[in-house]
Amino acid sequence: MKMLITLIALSFITLNISAQKTDNDKITWYSFEEAVALQTENQKKIFVDVYTDWCGWCKKMDANTFTNPVIAKFMNDHYYAVKFNAEGNEEITFKGDKYVNPNPDKKRSTHQLAQALLNGRMSYPSYAFLNEESELLTVVPGYMDPKAFEPIIHFFSKDAFLTKKWEEFSGSFKSEIN
């Protein structure tokens, strides 16, 4: 009987650990306005994945890179991650300005916030990194597998860009991805 109770208890513990692992292996995505609001409560940088529904490389990034447990954990710990549809229709207020998609019914009409974040260089996917004051640090374009993406998110989260050149940082970066 004790053995049966022990086995049941171990099963529940294993199931609970598996459920927790699954939850932690996913990036928590926020709306742009949610991320900016959260920054006022707890200072973190903001990461904005600027994508479109028709972008194949965006879908590949979602399927391959953003699902990697090492990437997901790091993103959740160090960033407020935002998924932003560059052709979306929502009105967004940011730093007192309103941003909209001026032609939401027109094919491939770009949202004004996407244009502002990407400095008019509309390439998808692109990733905007904002500091703790919601100021744009840089934009990094293009699909990257988890191994290529990992040093980039470390470079900006740890403010390494303030003291090191990318080549120096990336050359000494030790990946946690197997």
Q: What is the pLDDT of residue 21?
A: 43
Locus of tokens 């050149």: 165
Exposed/middle/buried for residue 114 (C-beta within 10 Å: 0-12, 13-18, 19+): buried
Domain boundaries, the chain: 25-172
Helix (H, G, I), strand (E, B) or coil at 46: strand
Q: What's the full length of the chain, in residues? A: 178
pLDDT 10s digits, 65-106 = 999 999 999 999 999 999 999 999 999 999 999 999 999 889
pLDDT of residue 8 exceeding 90, the answer is no
Q: For residues 128-152, b (16+ Cβ closer than 10 Å) or e, as one string?
A: bbbeeebeeeebbeebbebeebbbb
pLDDT confidence of residue 5: 41
How much is the mean pLDDT over the chain?
Answer: 89
25-172, CATH topology level: Glutaredoxin (3.40.30)
Q: What is the mean pLDDT of residues 149-170?
A: 97
Mean pLDDT is lowest, of 10-19, 79-88, 117-126, for 10-19
In whole angstroms, what is the distance from residue 178 CA to residue 176 CA? 6
Q: How far apart are CA 10 and CA 8, in angstroms?
A: 5
> Looking at residue 24, what is its pLDDT?
59
Q: Does the pLDDT at position 6 exceed 70?
A: no
The partner residues of 80 in beta bridges, in order of sequence, read 46
Report the C-alpha gap between 112 and 106 in whole angstroms.
14
User: What value does the mean pLDDT take over residues 14-30?
Assistant: 62
